[in-house]
Structure 1
Amino acid sequence: MFETVIRQSLSRRWLVLLASLLLLVGGVFQARQTGIDVFPDLNKPTVTVMTEAGALAPEEVESLVTIPLESALNGMPGVTRVRSTSGVGLSLVFVEFDWGTDALRNRQQVAERLQVVRGQLPPGVEPQMGPITSIMGEIMLIALPIAHGADPMAARDYADWVLRPRLLAVPGVAQVIPIGGAVRQYRVTPDPLRMQAAGVTLENLEGALRNFSRSGSGGFLDHQGRELLVRALGQSVRLDDLAALAVGYRNGQALRLDQVAEVGFAARPRRGDAGFGAEPAVIVSVQKQPDAASVPLTRSVEAVLQSAARDRPAGVAAPQIMFRQADFIERSIGNVQRTLIEGAAAVTLVLVLFLANFRTTFISLLAIPLSLLGTVLLLNAFGLQLNTMTLGGMAIAIGELVDDAVVDVENVLRRLRENAAAGQARSAFDVVLAASLEVRSGVVYATATVILVFLPLFWLPGIEGRLFVPLGISYVTAILCSLGVAAVVTPVLAFLLLPRLAASGSGALAILSDRRHGGSEALLVGWLKRGYRRPLEWSLRNGGLLIALVALLAVVAAASVPFFPRTFLPPFNEGTYTVNLALQPGTSLAESNRLGTLAEHLLLEVPGVVDVGRRTGRAELDEHAEGVHSSEIDVSTTGGVPREQMIARLRSQLAVLPGSVSVGQPIAHRLDHLLSGVRAQIAVKIFGDDLDQLYAQATALAEKLRKLPGVADLQVERQVRIPQMRVEIDHAAAARYGIAPGAVVALVESLAEGASLGQIIDGTRRYELSLRLADADRGAGALGRVTLDTPAGRVPLGLLAHIADGDGPNQVGRENGRRRIVISANATGNLSDVIAALRGELAGVKLPAGGFLLLEGQFQAQEHAQNTMRWLGLASALLVFFVLAGRFRSPRLAAIIMANIPLALIGAVIALWLSGQPLSVAALVGFITLAGIATRNGILKISHYVNLCAFEGETFGVPMIVRGSMERLTPVLMTALCAAIALAPLLAEPDAPGKEILYPVAVVIFGGLASSTLLDTFVTPAMFLRWGQKPLNELLAQKADSAF
């Protein structure tokens, strides 16, 4: 097949060159048009069901709303976990599906189940599905600072009715969530005394208010040949009209609403607030759809912000961007792109030094842009976007992209020179064709081996698979593209550029040529060959000793691997930090605001902090069920301080505050939440039935865990009892006065919580019309004096219910149908050591009957990935072994080739130790890549030994092995150095954004290539001399016609 491809390429060489030019132009165009993001799609299919339940207590929310929803949603096809949180007036249910399930079908299943369960929920309670968003979906946080003395309702109006609609209109935006300021509403505050004096009941007020602002239709009217639409217009936005609303009739006069109540604008009761720079603010979170590209979407959002800034009200400053995910993306992509350029420059230097010729260097280097741009086109065809992982795959492969071309060029030039020395016995066409075919089999099998070695990567499950499979696809695609370039383009360029060079016997870069060989060999190559021969001959004489020493080193390296510290992924360097401040549940919003503002002041004093934004509690549209005691503070920094040092500074600065503090980074924060449902690296989940008992057990256990080395930011989920005012209906008293208990409950809801009696529409704005007692009248004493109409007359509420202080849980967490409480923590040192200590401590914990513990977090993904890669890696190695054994018709030769893998392991382990890197999934990916590269080098060397005996009259022995090793020294060293040196930019600045995950990969490959290349030059010849004669003779006896 390859003979036909190469022959046709040489025959149609001008067409090949035109196609190459089109590939370059089309690839550049496509690369500029392709969307760029920071990571591949990491979304585990999840549907969020949010249910607002007025001001129901968490226990009622759990029993009346959450449990019916869980029962309906559990058991759907593809569901892996159902989590829920029942808070004050809010139920959140998270339905997690298997990786790879269709998001729209999942939502359809949930919608069908919600339709069935709606009848089981309290009246007026409507569960809603949250929008389809992404785990990396929060692309921007926008602060609208409110000046001192400015109207917070005007600021919130601007965010809700000007900014939010415009942002939602931007294609790719999924949700816009404002928090802070004050949501405006039309408030009617009844005066119980004036109502009693005027004889106006609560029902009178509610009935009148429901009919205050209405418009309708009177149908159509035929009049004098025309059809008229009859409109009934009763809407009004004027407070004067509302104040004059008739609520009764007494002594021949209408009773106005303002005679029995206060009428005006008021702030809707808040469950959250915000600040920016220690001043009040509205903070707007912008979330993107899963398939939207973050960087262009961010620019579109910024354009809308700029145009909308002109419409902001007085006292509201221009929008300030406090978090911009595109900053991290642009830095990351810029760093990886710069790595590609620097890697290509490093490869160029290696080729120039080894080839010492402009033409051969040009032919070899052209493989890089053709392969990379071909990869971009194919990735786009596969529907994969460019991100740090796909670009990282190209960066890791860049040194190998020239391998096939280098092997081709080096062999073609050598054969052309031999042909020139023989007096041009054959045509250049035939020489180039034969020389290309001579190395083709080895190159193809080497490439196939790399792909086979990469197979475990494509079976990685979960989030680790989502991260690294695109890297593997990108890497393998680039390698395949380079194979295609070497088979099609390289022979054509060699035919056009090299025959005259071979005939002249000199190179264009004479300064780098070795004059001892007439300028036909690079100075560096000549020096290396002269220095290589004597050590090679020594290794062949003392092969047994050398093999034993290297085997011992390999065993020691393998034995040291279990002692490496382990982690899931290297930490990211985002430049932005997330601080969670959790106060004692039951803390009021005003007190949380005060302490949150103090935290902002403290953080702004930390050197390197640029600005600080705070979100306390939750927003009206938010799916995070945080109580008003919890604050999330986003900290932007200059980026000049190392990550661990900055985290330590932030922790230390906030240590004076009451409550618990946790410090992380936005993206890492979300990845943790995806893995365990908790925004921390480690989650200990205790399951049981009694909330008080769960909290007591968790608190006791947390005190033990807090003492373990490496445990930081330890928090117990604040499921504690908070103060309540309990209004317990006296059923006997209600029966005496002839009123149903439900009517009494409805009265309490209307007056204490506030009844929403309609909307007042002002253009595109909609404001709630609310009836609510003044705060002074909502205390136990005042509420007990409120009267309500009964068949027995007007009766104070105090005679129908017992009103007293009490307590109850602030929230109820559930998972897979069971109540649970979570102890969360981060690890400051070796994650694997921390997990081992935790497991030892948890093994001795005894729980009541029916209770159990789960330990979850990043380490699970790491352990799962390592186990998967271990077994799949073994299967892949066996597959490679059988392929090589089939190709060379000898298990012994296959074993000699694969001995390069333990040779590479030696350097990889040393490099990991020296760099201080833990054994992460990224490092394991590096081992996989390294195994493929090392095996590839072994294939090319053994193939050359076989070809020398099969086609060039050599016989097995030391002279043949010395000749073959000397001839293969240049391509082996060149390709290995290209692969290693191309990684040097990744080894510099390991904490630079975009390089964090790629750095461990580069460390492993660089160290492994150093050891495998150095040892392979001596060990492989020694092993072939010792064990290769019999399989070589058997192979030659079969008289293969094609080169190996």
Structure 2
Amino acid sequence: MMQALVRFSIRFSGVIIGLASLIIVYGLFSLTRSNLDVFPEFAPTQIIIQTESPGLSAELVESLVTQPIETSAAGTVGIKSMRSQSIPGLSIVTIIFNESTDIYRNRQVIAERLSTLGNKLPQGITPNITPLTSSASTVLGFGLTSKTRSLTELRTMVDWTIVPHLLAIPGVADVNVFGGKVKQLQVQVDPEKMIRYGISLLQVEDAVRKATGVRGGGYIENKNQRIVINTEGQSTTPEKLALVTLLHKNGQTIRLGDIGKVAYGAAPSISAAAINEESGVYLSVQGQLGANTHGVTLAVERALKELEPNLTAEHIKLHQGLFRPANFIEVAISGVRADILIGSVLVITILFLFLFNVRTAFISATAIPLSLLTAIVVMSYFNIGLNIMVLGGLAIALGEVVDDAIIDTENIFRRLRENRLLAQPLPTYQVVFNASMEVRTSVVYATFIVALVFLPLLTLGGVAGKLFAPLGLAYIAAIMASLFVALTLTPALCYIMLGNAKLDDTDPPLIQFFKRIYVKVLMKVDAHYKVVIATSFILIAIGLGTLPLFKSQFIPALHEGHYIMHMTAVPGTSEQESLRIGKKVSETIRKIDGVKSVTQWVGRAPNAADTFGTHYSEFEIEIGAISGEEQRRILADIREELSGEDVDRDGDGVAETGFVGVNFAINTFLTERIEETISGYAASTVINIYGQNLDALDSDANNIARILNDIKGAADVTVQSPPGTPQLVVRLRPEKMAQLGLYPTDVLDNIRAAYEGVPVTQVYEGNRVIGVSVLLDLEARDDVQEAGSLPLFNAEGKLFRLRDVADIVQENGRSKILHAGAKRIQTVTANVSGRDIDSFTSELKTRLNSELTLSPGTYLEFTGAAEANAKSREKLILQSAIAGVSVLLMLYIAFGRLRNLLLTFANLPFALIGGVIAVMLTGGWISLGSLVGFVTLFGITLRNSIMMASHFQHLVDEENCVWCLETCIRGASERLPSILMTALVTALGLLPLAVGSGEPGREIEGPMATIIVGGLVTSTILNLLILPTIMLHFGKFERSVKFEPHAG
């Protein structure tokens, strides 16, 4: 088949060149239409069920809402795990499914199960499935402030103008809104007037409901018309509602305005926001699953630009760019693109210097754009957009894609030159065909072996698999495309461009120079081969011995130009207090050189999947597209300022008090999203404690946190569900209520109306809907001591106080109750700073085993990036070993001799030495990306070894050479140009990526490139010096063992 394909390509070379041109055009077209993102989609197949439960404590939310939902969903086919969080007023249940399941079918099944809950949930509580969002979720964060408009007016503008406009944009899943005040039409009842007129809150509710209700009037139909009855008269303003009659008593009409204040007010707040210390509204736009993050960002920005004139006219300031993930996408993509372009220029330069012929350099170089664009077409077919992992795979393949063409072109060029010297030269067509087929089988074997080496990346699984599979797929697609180019376009171009061209009789000058030196060095190595081989094995042993000394991490720190900081105060901290502390924090951070803006949001957004109370704040710290070194400096400065120690913030020599009693955790956005995907928390180390007794869980969690804080490198240690949130507990006395003629639900309804506010109905202002609520006036509502004085009326209209039928005490309750697998858990999280995560986790486990005594009925589980790193590393090594066995089988088919096969593998450990040195020179950190770099390096090294060994076999089989020193030197010298070119073009192609390691967008591929470049140095030395020597003295090449170069 290969013979036929090569023969066709030479005979119909014009057709092949035309098809190649079409592929390039279509590839460029696909390139312009590809989705742009930083990472591939890495989130699991999951469903989040969000259930608002107004007025319920965390304990009641757990028992009345969360547990029924968990029970309902538990039997669904395909569920991998389930976790939940119950906080006052909210339940969040997260269900993770097996990757093989269909997310849309899963959502349908869960929705059907939720619909069967019916009366199992408290009245008025309905679970909702949150919209499908992308892995990164947020596509843009922006804010609104105003010097003249109130927070209520700002929120009204957001809810009824901006959010609907943004939701209409394709790719926008949701808009989370923080801060502002939601406008309500409120009846704020004065308790004293309730008593004076003998009117209960429930009577007020009934009157408001009747006054604001909307009813259809039907129609009147006569002989030729149907006339719709449109009813008006609804009380839609405070003035109208205040005139509504409550009752007539003793000849007096009592109206709603007589028992309190009827006015526009703010609904109970669950969030607040401040932009650069100025109160406002912060909006976080969420992208749909599979949407083009960069494209959606640009669309949202265009929409905001359309709205900006209206906002300006309303004296509202629009703060754009508070959080823009697209900045990192643009920097990362453009950076890696530039590295590929620079690498391509370096590759072409090397090709010309070595081949010293414009035509041969051009033929070899055409493989670069054609192979890379073909790979992009393949990625587009699989609906994989352009991201730094895909571009990284293409960058790593840069040297490899030109390798096949180099081998083919160099061999054809050499054979054409030799043919010109013959007395009876063969036809050009025959020479090109024979020369191409001479190296074809070995090239095919080498290419498929490299692809086999990369297969483990495609089956890695989990977050690591989703991140690195596109890199592996891009690499395999590129080298397979380069193989096809070498089979078709390269012979066609050689036939057209070299067939009648003037060819030099000698090697190019640079190759002549290298060959003269190479032959001398190879002779000296052979003369002392025992010493050389022994030295090589010693170096290999040293390299292997240093591996355990390296520091491990899941992925390197990302430099996104933006940091997310969490601030957690004591549970029960009010919204205003969190804003007050946050203002000081924001002022402190904004003084740091390089910080552009700081945005704080407190609490949670309505209908979002977050479970944060008012004691929790998140800060969006924007620093922009600056160097990795500058970003690390800013992060260190922020950590120092917020360390809790006394710091001279003003530079006046006087140390200000640190932020004592407040916990901070800071990280980059994508790092947090990856960590949250792995464990559910934005932390690298996560410890779950399972048990039923909450007090026991708290005790164990606090002990673990104490041990963590005592371990070097521990940072941001947090107990995720801290106890101690203040509660006012109202315990009804049934016997007293029965005696006074009160029902428990009546009492509870009165309490809820008084303090939560009952959303009775809605009124309409044009297309805007405004809730109508009944509650106590602010003065009575905010006085804890007056809670017992809440008026209650029985059916006879007799007055009682809440204290008459209930015991009222202040206690500490739960701020959050966590479940995993429908079991109660307590979770402790921590980040690791200044040391590798593996050694940290090992020390932590040792300390816990020796110092921690768990409460009866509790047990531990470790999750987080540390565990994911270990599992991914083990799986990658295991699958690489399986791939290695497959490579051995393929090599055995190629060589037919076990001895030559094993000698070919001798190059791999030597390649390790260069990779190890590269790791040592760059700080000694090993990440999952670094392991992928070693896998890539082994594939490239093995390929070069195969090409050397196969050429030795060719000389014996096809040119009747006897295997000896002369044949070895000849074969090695003939392979010298292609091996040197392959090594140099691969190394120089990756050099820009390696040099930029640690810069934005290169954090993962940079270490990979560094390892490959370092390993190529030592593996090339071995390929050129050690491998021929080993093959000469220990290999066996005989004509009895046929290596079939022309087999198709």
Please indicate, yes or no, whether the TM-score normalized by the shorter chain is above 0.5.
yes
User: Could you tell me how far apart the structure 2 residues matched to 1:118 and 1:387 are?
Assistant: 45
CA positional deviation for 1:668: 0.7
Of the three residues 531, 534, 557, the one matched with 1:548 is 534
**Which residue in the other structure is 2:614 paired with?**
628
Contact 1:146 1:316 in 2 (8 A): yes
Cα shift readout 1:990-1036 (whole Å, capped 9, x = no counterpart): 1222111001211111111110101111111111111223x534314
* Contact 1:917–1:1000 under 8 Å retained in 2: no
Deviation at 1:1040, TM superposition (A): 4.8
2:1004 maps to 1:997: yes
The more displaced of 883-892 and 328-337 is 883-892
In structure 2, what is the equivalent of residue 586 of structure 1? 572
Instruction: Give 2:582's match in structure 1, choosing from 580, 586, 596.
Output: 596
Give yes or no for the alignment of 1:951 onto 2:962.
Answer: no
Aligned-partner Cα distance in 1 for 2:41–2:64 = 36
Tell me if structure 2 keeps the 8 A contact 1:892–1:1028: yes
- What is the TM-score normalised by the length of structure 2? 0.96
For 1:95 and 1:543, the matched residues in 2 are separated by 62
Query: Matches of 2:491 and 2:215 in 1, distance apart?
Result: 81
After superposition, the C-alpha distances for 1:338-373 in whole angstroms (9 at most, x for unaligned) are 011011011011101100110000000011011111
- Report how far residue 321 of structure 1 moved: 2.4
Report what 2:819 is aligned to: 814
Match of residue 713, structure 1, among 688, 699, 716: 716
CA distance in 2, matches of 1:913, 1:675: 29
Compute the displacement of 1:621 (Å). 2.6
Shift of residue 601, structure 1, vs aligned partner: 0.7
Counterparts of 2:200 and 2:1029, CA distance in 1: 103
3-state SS, counterpart of residue 143 of structure 1: strand
2:228 maps to a residue whose letter is: L
Q: Equivalents in 2 of 1:1035, 1:786: separation in Å?
A: 100
Structure 1, 900-909 or 335-344: larger mean CA deviation: 900-909
2:216–2:231 contact (8 Å) kept in structure 1:
yes
Deviation of the 1:522 alpha carbon: 2.1
Tell me if structure 2 keeps the 8 A contact 1:617–1:628: yes
* Structure 1 equivalent of residue 842 of structure 2: 836
CA distance in 2, matches of 1:671, 1:80: 18
Q: Output aligned runs, 1:276-287, within 5 Å.
A: 276-287=275-286
2:659 counterpart (657, 660, 667): 657
Pairing 1:868-947 to 2, within 5 Å after superposition = 868-947=875-954
Which residue does 2:830 correspond to in 1? 825
On the 8 A contact 1:344/1:398 being kept in 2, the answer is yes
2:685 corresponds, among 664, 682, 702, to 682
Identity %: 33
For 2:45, the aligned partner's letter is: P
Matched, 1:729 2:735: no
* Structure 1 residue ranges without an equivalent (≥5): 507-517
* Distance change (3 Å), C-alpha of 1:218 and 1:774: closer
Distance 1:357 1:446 in 2: 27
Amino acid corresponding to residue 901 of structure 2 in structure 1: A
SS at match of 2:612: coil
Partner in structure 2 of residue 316 of structure 1: 316
- For 1:562, give the aligned amino acid: P
Tell me the alpha carbon deviations over residues 848-871 of structure 1, each in whole angstroms, 9 at most, x when there is no partner.
Answer: 221011222111111111111211
* Structure 1 counterpart of 2:798: 794
1:511-660 correspondence to structure 2 within 5 Å: 520-638=506-624, 639-640=626-627, 641-654=629-642, 655=644, 656-658=658-660, 659-660=662-663
- Matched to 1:650, the amino acid is I
Equivalent AA in structure 1 for residue 503 of structure 2: G
SS across alignment from 2:997: coil
- The CA RMSD measured in Å over matched residues stands at 1.7
Instruction: Give, as a single letter, the amino acid of the residue that structure 2 aligns with 1:129.
Output: I
Structure 1 residue aligned with 2:764? 761
SS of the residue aligned with 1:137? strand
Counterpart position of 1:1034: 1040
Q: What is the aligned partner in structure 1 of residue 178 from structure 2?
A: 179
- Residue identity opposite 2:724 in structure 1: R
What is the CA deviation profile of residues 733-770 of structure 1, one whole-angstrom value per residue up to 9, with x for unaligned ones?
Answer: 11112222222111111122211101112222111100
* Correspondence for 1:79: 79
Residue 318 of structure 1 aligns to a residue whose secondary structure is strand
Whole-Å Cα distance in 2 between the matches of residues 616 and 199 of structure 1?
A: 40
- Residue 278 of structure 1 aligns with an amino acid whose one-letter code is E
Deviation at 1:252, TM superposition (A): 4.9
Shift of 1:718: 4.3
Mean CA deviation greater in 108-117 or 410-419: 108-117
Q: 1:514: which partner in 2?
A: none
Distance in 2 (CA, whole Å) between partners of 1:427 and 1:314 is 83
Aligned to 1:513: none
Partner of 1:515: none
CA drift of 1:167 comes to 0.4
In 2, Cα distance between the equivalents of 1:505 and 1:129? 71
Deviation (angstroms), 1:472: 0.5
Gap change, CA 1:412 and 1:146, over 3 Å in 2? same
Deviations 1:768-811 (A, max 9, x none): 10000013223355443333332454131232222332231222
Give, in whole Å, the separation in 1 of the partners of 2:269 and 2:508: 77
What is the alpha-carbon distance in structure 2 between the residues aligned to residue 802 and residue 303 of structure 1? 58
Determine helix, strand or coil for the equivalent of 1:264. Answer: strand
Counterpart CA distance in 2 for 1:79 and 1:41 is 20
> 1:803 corresponds to which residue?
808
Q: Which residue in 2 is equivalent to 1:422?
A: 422
What's the CA shift string for 1:481-507, capped at 9, x where partnerless?
001111101111101111233xx333x
| Structure 2 segments unaligned to the other structure (5+ residues) | 645-657
Give the partner amino acid of 1:415.
R
Q: Distance in 1 between the 2:305 and 2:682 partners?
A: 33
Secondary structure at 1:287 match in 2: strand
Rounded to whole Å, the distance in 1 between the matches of 2:198 and 2:845 is: 69
Partner secondary structure for residue 273 of structure 2: strand
Which residue type is aligned with residue 700 of structure 1? Answer: N
| Counterpart residue identity of residue 1000, structure 1 | P
Residues 42 and 135 in structure 1, CA contact (< 8 A), matched pair in contact too: yes
Classify the secondary structure of the residue corresponding to 1:372.
helix
Shift in Å, 1:1043? 7.4
CA–CA separation in structure 1 for the residues paired with 2:633 and 2:765: 52
Give, in whole Å, the separation in 2 of the partners of 1:810 and 1:395. 49
Q: C-alpha separation between the residues in 1 aligned to 2:585 and 2:827? A: 25
The answer for the alignment partner of 1:860 in structure 2 is: 867
Task: State the AA in 2 paired with 1:633.
Answer: F
Which position in structure 1 is the counterpart of 2:755? 752
Does the aligned pair in 1 maintain the 2:130–2:607 contact within 8 Å?
no
Describe the SS at the equivalent of 2:202: helix
Deviations 1:13-63 (A, max 9, x none): 111111111111111111111111111111111211111111111111111
TM-score scaled by length of structure 1:
0.96
2:652 matched residue in structure 1: none
Distance 1:318 1:68 in 2: 43
Could you say which residue in structure 2 is the equivalent of 1:211? 210
